[in-house]
Chains A and B, each alone.
Chain A
Amino acid sequence: MDAMMDKKEILNSGLLERYLLDEVSEMERLQVEKYLQDAEIRQHFQQLEISFEKMALENAIPPPAHLKNSLLGTLGERMETPSSPENKRTNLKPYLAIAATLAFLFGVTSFWLYTQLNGIEDQLDLVRSQNEVLTEDLENLVENYDAVNNEYDITSNPSAQKLIMVGNNNSPDAIAISYVNHTDKTVYLNAEGLPDLPDDHDYQLWADVEGEMIDMGVITKGERFLAMNYIDQAESLNITIEPAGGSDHPTVERLITNVYLQ
């Protein structure tokens, strides 16, 4: 502040009054703006401003009313786009129409999608149940295949001796095929060709070892291909009809077929 005038000098110089009236040179203006950073000078200037303002308000002369409208009208023309609320309201209409259309389309599409979804759900249920059936079928097939494969392995084994047992007079239509494997010590029987028996009777397979008939197992009803007991040194295989569940000793009178082993 050293280059500045003394505060009192500034306040008394009339510079602030002239600044307020915009009656200062550019240099004086910059000077005053610098002085105004001082709180006391600033306060003094604010007092001047308020006094002037109050005086002006007391001496106000109302301008003609039409002037304000024409002023605001001029603004409207100059601004054009920012526009009045009325314009905004009318501008909104197309947007509302678009919004309504979009909402309607959305509703229709939603309904369509909903019905589609229901249809698809029904189809899915159908496919699911079909799938279950197919899976079951497949399981059966696999089981079947395993059985067939197993049977094939057994029957096609070169070590297996295939013996065809043809029915005698007791059962002329009967035919059974046995597979005897001395290497593996196994015996399998294809009982497919044996005529059905009443419930109280079963077929039973026997081995003849040195004149004695030894049990090789009851042929379970309904089984097509069965594993039987392998008996060492069997000379022949024999099938008899026995009471249901089989017997300890064969009923020789009811022998239906026999075959000798080589």
Chain B
Amino acid sequence: MQTDFLLIQQLREKNPKALSSLYDKYAGALYGVILRICKEESLAQDVLQETFLKIWNNAASYDSDKGRFYTWAYRIARNTALNETRTPSKLIQTEDLSVYKEKEAAEEVTIDAIKLNGSIRKLEKHHQKALELVYFNGLTHREAHEEMGVPLGTFKSYIQQALRKLRELYGVEMILVIGVLIEWML
């Protein structure tokens, strides 16, 4: 996982190539989150587009001391997606609800497409579910613990245990050391 230091520097200087590179690197990951929140492809595409425009326009406000670039981009994507799906504006604008619902149903992504992959699959089911709800579905901890029907404290510990397990699976410590070395060399 190489550092994005130079790319972000160029992004701040409004170099479209930098955005292009960051897009190649992260668009898939962000689209994976956005699509799982929106559950509708055309809306998800708009959100992805808007996310990258926000990244482009607000690059100056990204502070690498406060976290990784992806974390920053993820927050933008998540908030943009939640704004799009939670504002009832679309429902209000559409007078014929049945038509809207039909249309949405037609575009709704298949469960298969948004099924989770990778190391998360190796976790216990309730840990998988907890991560999916907050990370990929954009639920708050409060919403998610109600969804799962467990107390908030228990839900929090699910998240923490899940992350600890993931960290072991990914060998995160090693990645961190390498990351620090790379940054130091730069």
Give residues in A with beta carbon < 8 Å to B. 12-14, 17-18, 20-23, 33, 36, 43, 45-64, 67-68, 70-72, 74-76, 79, 82, 84
A36–B166 CB distance below 8 A: no
Q: Which residue in A22, A51, A57, A63 is a CB contact (below 8 Å) of B166?
A: A51
Pick out which of these stretches binds chain A: B19-27, B88-96, B97-105. Answer: B19-27
Q: How many residues of B are counted as interface, with CB atoms below 8 angstroms from the partner's CB atoms? A: 57
B31–A63 CB distance below 8 A: yes
Known A23-B141, A52-B163, A54-B119; further 11 A-B contacts with Cβ < 8 A: A17-B160, A20-B67, A22-B79, A43-B176, A46-B176, A55-B131, A56-B74, A57-B28, A61-B28, A68-B27, A71-B19
A17–B29 CB distance below 8 A: no
Contacts of A52 in B (CB 8 A): 70-71, 74, 135, 163
B79–A71 CB distance below 8 A: no
A63–B176 CB distance below 8 A: no
B68–A49 CB distance below 8 A: yes
Interface 1/0 per residue, B25-44 and A, CB below 8 Å: 00111111101100000001
Give residues in B with beta carbon < 8 Å to A. 1, 14, 16, 19-20, 23-24, 27-33, 35-36, 44-45, 48-49, 52-53, 56, 66-68, 70-71, 74-75, 78-79, 113-114, 116-120, 131, 134-136, 140-141, 156, 159-160, 163, 166-167, 170, 172-173, 175-176, 179
* CB nearest neighbor in A for B143: A23
Contacts of B33 in A (CB 8 A): 56, 59
What distance in Å separates the Cβ of B62 from its nearest Cβ neighbour in chain A? 13
Contacts of B167 in A (CB 8 A): 47, 50-51
